[in-house]
């Protein structure tokens, strides 16, 4: 199960990381299915939707304001392009010995998916800056690899383990994942909040089809990969193990919660059923249709029929029809334009399940982290540290 460890030669070495990403770039150059396809994006509309998210996750508002005046194109690496201008910002921070800010900016540069050379390169630099910044994290950090068996082969899942310096063997573990356009490193500050606030050890991973797992298309069967990350997480504690997913990562945590793979599950803006209907697919905004297409593994823009066929396979209606699950928190903003609030409301009335809709919250309520994070932190504390009902006598 466990692959390369924190002391293993080269797992976090820049030369090894560079070799790994060069193979991805070679696939793009040869026009093979590697990272996906580019697609039309209205940059102004995207700024209108995502500015608050970038700021909430740590990028300075004045930096965003400058970028909105400079960026005119989503793709490529020429002046005025998304990746180029974000990367310039990152380089300034890196040269100023501010690797954490550089990491965030490179995270902006690889948005919304790793479909061209500039974005793959930005993701490589983000990882390098993240490792550089880790020496100043307020928590302990390890980068390790988990070998997951999948479709007759082995997928190495790089994970980031964050914990309090005085964490013990019974500290609960929380497997945490981001979404299709916001990956594990982009959400670092959120993970730190839960480590310090809920006193858990976080094992952060990308979901299949994204980030360091971009070569493995996301699908319902790919939940097996995260289930094996959970199995690894259980080896790190004598206590409980939970799973938290943000956006499409919430799909994976919902699956884990409904199948009982974990002891507790948090679904933050996760799609589970109505998101995958034809009506919702047709209504997707801000390039999300093709962001999903990239995560699904398409090498070119899919037809509506192709996208609907693949998307429909994700529905968790069969699991939702059962009246069993581990304790779950399902939370989202009530103004989500990507995931219908009915995908949260569908959990109302289930056993051991809390449903929260945050007023004025956008997708995953990332514009209201001041409300979201205290709710999640308190819930994690009460459910991952409490003894099992069967052992409480």
- Residue range 247-291, pLDDT digits in tens: 999 999 999 999 999 999 999 999 999 999 999 999 999 999 999
* CA dihedral over 204, 210, 216, 221, signed as positive or negative: positive
Which range marks the domain in which residue 66 is found?
14-134
Q: Are residues 191 and 283 in the same domain?
A: yes
More confident residue, 324 or 12: 324
Q: How far apart are the C-alpha atoms of 311 and 328, rounded to whole Å?
A: 24
Q: Are residues 248 and 364 in the same domain?
A: yes
Q: Are residues 201 and 308 in the same domain?
A: yes
Q: Single out the residue of 293, 284, 377, 317 nearest to residue 45, CA to CA.
A: 284
The SS3 of residue 330 is strand
pLDDT at position 391 over 90: no
Q: Are residues 250 and 346 in the same domain?
A: yes
In sequence order, what are the beta bridge partners of 140? 163
pLDDT at position 324 over 90: yes
Query: Which pLDDT score is estimated for 11?
Result: 61
Question: Is the entire prediction scored with pTM above 0.85?
Answer: yes
Kindly report, residue by residue over 86-103, the tens digit of the pLDDT: 999 999 999 999 999 999
Phi, psi (deg, nearest 5) at residue 219: -165, 170
Domain boundary among 134, 159, 192: 134
Mean pLDDT within 125-149: 96
**Which stretches does DSSP call E strand in 46-128?**
none
pLDDT at position 135 over 70: yes
Q: Residues 99, 104, 105, 108: what is their CA dihedral angle, to the nearest 10 degrees? A: 160
Q: Are 65 and 55 in contact (CB under 8 A)?
A: no
Q: Are residues 107 and 241 in the same domain?
A: no
- Specify the pairing of strand 173-177 against strand 140-150: unpaired
Q: Are residues 170 and 111 in the same domain?
A: no
Q: Are residues 163 and 127 in the same domain?
A: no
In the sheet that 241-246 helps form, which strands lie side by side, from edge to edge? 140-150, 153-163, 201-205, 173-177, 241-246, 264-268, 328-333, 353-358
Q: Are residues 335 and 316 in the same domain?
A: yes
pLDDT at position 325 over 70: yes
C-alpha Rg value of the chain to the nearest Å: 20
Kindly report, residue by residue over 143-176, the tens digit of the pLDDT: 999 999 999 999 999 999 999 999 999 999 999 9
Which strand (E) or helix (H) includes residue 257?
A: helix 248-259
Q: Are 210 and 113 in contact (CB under 8 A)?
A: yes
């Amino acid at each position: 199960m466990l692959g390369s460890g924190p002391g293993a030669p080269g797992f976090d070495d820049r030369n090894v990381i560079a070799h790994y990403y060069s193979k991805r770039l070679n696939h793009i150059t040869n026009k093979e299915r590697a990272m996906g396809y580019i697609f039309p994006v209205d940059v102004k509309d995207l700024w209108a939707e995502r500015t608050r998210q970038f700021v909430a996750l740590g990028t300075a508002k004045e930096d965003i304001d400058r970028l909105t005046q400079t960026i005119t194109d989503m793709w490529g690496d020429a002046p005025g392009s998304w990746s180029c201008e974000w990367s310039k910002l990152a380089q300034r921070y890196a040269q100023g010995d501010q690797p954490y800010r550089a990491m965030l900016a490179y995270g902006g540069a690889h948005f919304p998916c790793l479909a061209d050379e500039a974005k793959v390169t930005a993701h490589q630099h983000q990882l390098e800056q993240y490792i550089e910044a880790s020496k100043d994290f307020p928590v302990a950090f390890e980068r390790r690899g988990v070998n997951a068996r999948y479709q007759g082969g082995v997928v190495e899942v790089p994970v980031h383990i964050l914990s309090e310096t005085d964490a013990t063997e019974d500290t609960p573990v929380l497997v945490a994942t981001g979404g299709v356009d916001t990956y594990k490193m982009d959400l670092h500050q959120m993970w730190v909040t839960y480590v310090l606030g809920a006193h858990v050890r976080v094992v952060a991973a990308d979901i299949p089809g994204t980030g360091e797992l971009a070569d493995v298309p996301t699908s319902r069967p790919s939940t097996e990969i995260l289930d094996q990350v959970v199995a690894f997480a259980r080896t790190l504690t004598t206590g409980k193990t939970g799973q938290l997913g943000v956006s499409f990562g919430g799909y994976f945590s919902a699956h884990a919660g409904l199948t009982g793979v974990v002891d507790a599950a948090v679904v933050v803006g996760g799609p589970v059923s109505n998101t995958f209907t034809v009506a919702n697919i047709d209504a997707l905004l801000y390039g999300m249709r093709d962001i999903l297409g990239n995560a699904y593994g398409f090498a070119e823009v899919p037809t509506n029929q192709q996208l609907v066929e693949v998307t429909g396979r994700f529905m968790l209606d069969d699991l939702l029809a059962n009246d069993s699950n581990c304790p779950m928190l399902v939370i989202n903003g009530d103004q989500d334009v990507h995931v219908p609030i009915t995908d949260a409301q569908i959990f109302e009335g289930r056993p051991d399940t809390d449903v929260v809709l945050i007023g004025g919250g956008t997708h995953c309520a990332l514009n209201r982290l001041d409300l979201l994070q205290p709710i999640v932190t308190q819930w994690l504390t009460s459910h991952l540290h409490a003894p099992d009902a069967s052992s409480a006598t």
